[in-house]
Amino acid sequence: MRISKKKKATEILAILKQLYPLATCSLNYETPLQLLVATILSAQCTDDLVNKVTPALFARFPDAKSFAKADREEIETLVHSTGFYRNKAKNIQNAAIKIVQEFNGQVPQTMKELLTLAGVARKTANVVLAHAFGIIEGVTVDTHVKRLSNRLGLTKNSNPVHIEQDLMKLLPQPEWENFSISIIYHGRAVCNARKPKCSDCELAHLCVFVRA
């Protein structure tokens, strides 16, 4: 019997919450700024690698003012191993400059304001709002969320913004970030991009990819 997408999404969420009850943001941080920087660095890079880089980075630059005044080459050197280091260092510094000049040195707490910062799109903004401020504004769509949402038949879109819009219609708002984090865990543990462990997957009965 075919079920609606909304009912399927609700069932998927329930299973994921049972599988990963302690799922949380994998990035290490102590302040909203540190989370913002770490999330920018996580683009096309694993959270584990970011967590190896940030202790030295945050020890050297503890706040927005220090990032804003930094020698950018020093930032580049410290974040080099995360890839695309020149662009990431540029975005981090320019975001810090704007935070100092326009937001009194504090990371803003609205989607509209966050999106004005260099290097910040909805994915980064959603992570910062949810985990630094407890504000659930949207669904964080990274590569895992994109892949699994398509495989599970919750969306047919490839654009992250359109995927987010589809998921927001299917899930209750308080669970938007829980869904993202849990499905990211599942993507890492089971639904690998190249070799998904379909025979071990608790979501297999709901998955379009398995039946294809």
Burial code of 140-168, b = ≥16 C-beta within 10 A, e = fewer? bbbebbbbbbbbbbbbebeebeebbebbe
Sign of the dihedral through C-alpha 102, 107, 109, 112: positive
| 88, 98, 142, 146: the active-site residue | 142
| 47, 123, 146, 166: the active-site residue | 123
At 2 the pLDDT is 76
At 44 the pLDDT is 93
Decide if 123 is catalytic.
yes
Q: What is the pLDDT along the chain (212 residues), one digit of tens a residue?
A: 678 999 999 999 999 999 999 999 999 999 999 999 999 999 999 999 999 999 999 999 999 999 999 999 999 999 999 999 999 999 999 999 999 999 999 999 999 999 999 999 999 999 999 999 999 999 999 999 999 999 999 999 999 999 999 999 999 999 999 999 999 999 999 999 999 999 999 999 999 987 44
At 1 the pLDDT is 60
Structural domains in the chain plus CATH codes: 5-23+139-211 (1.10.1670.10), 32-133 (1.10.340.30)
| pTM of the full structure | 0.94
| Per-residue model confidence as pLDDT tens digits over 22-55 | 999 999 999 999 999 999 999 999 999 999 999 9
